[in-house]
Amino acid sequence: MNEDFITVLRKHLKSPQKAIIIPHKNPDGDALGSSLALMHFLLLEKHQAVVVSPNDYPNFLNWLPGQEKILIHNKSKELVQKKINEATLIFTLDFNALSRIDKLGEIISKAKAEKIMIDHHEAPEDFASLMYSDPYMSSTCEMVYNIITTLNPDSINSEIASCLYTGIMTDTGSFKYPSTTAETHKAIAHLIEKGADGTVIHQKIYDSSSFNRLKLLGIALSNLNRIRSLPIVYITLSQQELNSCDYQKGDTEGFVNYGLSLEGVQFACIMIENEKEGKIKMSFRSKGSFSVNEFARKYFQGGGHLNAAGGMSTDSISETIELFNKAVAEVSSQF
Ligand code: 5GP
Ligand code: MN
């Protein structure tokens, strides 16, 4: 972490602040865990702090300490606008582009508050006046851990520890992705000492599936397709298939990883239809040096990390499969 970042942040936090903390749209464990941990920390330090999520979050995160206080922008527009007008600091967590927070992007770009980005995605946009951006970090939670332990290590209580543990665990695939370092494990050890219960958190996130979600996984796996002569697979889920299993937000989390679990496969994609939004949400995962971040940027209006990225298509599923086939043909020499 850059010394200047901490020096300037420390200056800001010398006097009482009104902070807004914003995770990305469809927040995951890292986005919500880091936002809530920062909220708990700022409250302990006698600031005001509110987490504003662009939209609702999945059920598997609805136990995180403090989640009941989260304001959802698309449900409480007026209240959120008021809070943003009054804010002195706006923290943006776990995203690199204002498009990742939908309409909140325009609202915060007009806000007078100081904007502070904390994020580990590549190629951050230049919308914040203060940035802690590091694509080598395992998670935004590990970055918030670094900030809190630098500013006031004694403030880590069991609530902060549980929130940070959750995001580090989910973004590292339970501590197995290459972004997991010795520092990550040291942070996790410290968080366990401070009250994070790894077994309970793991169960809440990964062993809390509904019957319907497991049925949907069955459909997803039966839709698994291989690209001929390349180590690439893709999965599709149509709106009709989602409806047949009473799809709930978050139900498809992790499905794309099953493609990557096949021996020899280096690149997996899942395409999920969202009829209401008129688009196909795409998730990309890779093993090794193939950059799904670049792939998502170049072909599917998205981005992310080297080995995990997302994007979208406004065409039908069958057209999107064709586009995907054309795109992988163009990058086939990389495999
Ligand atoms: P997921 O596939 O789980 O939605 O996202 C994987 C990673 O890519 C996450 O770090 C997420 O923040 C990022 N990501 C997902 N969708 C998009 C997108 O449309 N644009 C950008 N820039 N990043 C994305
Ligand atoms: Mn993250």
Residues with CB under 6 A from ligand 1: 24, 97, 100, 283, 302-305, 308-312
Give tens-digit pLDDT for 18-45: 999 999 999 999 999 999 999 999 999 9
CA 26 to CA 75: how far, in whole Å?
A: 14
**Full DSSP string of 148-174:** HHHH-GGG--HHHHHHHHHHHHHHTTT
Q: Is the pTM of this model over 0.75?
A: yes
All structural domains of the chain = 3-206 (3.90.1640.10), 211-334 (3.10.310.30)
Q: Quick one: which ligand is closest to 24's CA?
A: 1
Contact predicate 34/62, CB 8 Å: no
Please give the distance, rounded to the nearest whole angstrom, from the Cα atom of residue 236 to the centre of ligand 2. Answer: 24
Write out the H or E segment, with its range, that includes residue 20: strand 18-23
- Give the per-residue pLDDT at 76: 96
Please give the distance, rounded to the nearest whole angstrom, from the Cα atom of residue 171 to the centre of ligand 2. Answer: 6
The 3-state DSSP composition of the chain as helix, strand, coil percent (nearest 5) reads: 45, 20, 35
CA distances from 115 to 25, 144, 316 (A): 18, 16, 38
- Give the per-residue pLDDT at 3: 86
Please give the distance, rounded to the nearest whole angstrom, from the Cα atom of residue 119 to the centre of ligand 1. Answer: 12
- Give the per-residue pLDDT at 1: 83
What are the residue ranges in the chain where pLDDT is below 50?
none
- Give the per-residue pLDDT at 179: 94
Q: Quick one: which ligand is closest to 143's CA?
A: 2
- Give the per-residue pLDDT at 151: 97
- Give the per-residue pLDDT at 317: 96
- Give the per-residue pLDDT at 2: 84
- Give the per-residue pLDDT at 240: 98
Q: What percent of the chain lies above the pLDDT cut of 90?
A: 98
Contact predicate 163/175, CB 8 Å: no
Please give the distance, rounded to the nearest whole angstrom, from the Cα atom of residue 31 to the centre of ligand 2. Answer: 6
- Give the per-residue pLDDT at 210: 94
Give tens-digit pLDDT for 215-261: 999 999 999 999 999 999 999 999 999 999 999 999 999 999 999 99
Write out the H or E segment, with its range, that includes residue 194: none
| Ion ligand 2: residues, Cβ under 5 Å | 30, 94, 140, 171
- Give the per-residue pLDDT at 295: 98
How many of the other CB atoms lie within 10 Å of CB of 329? Answer: 11
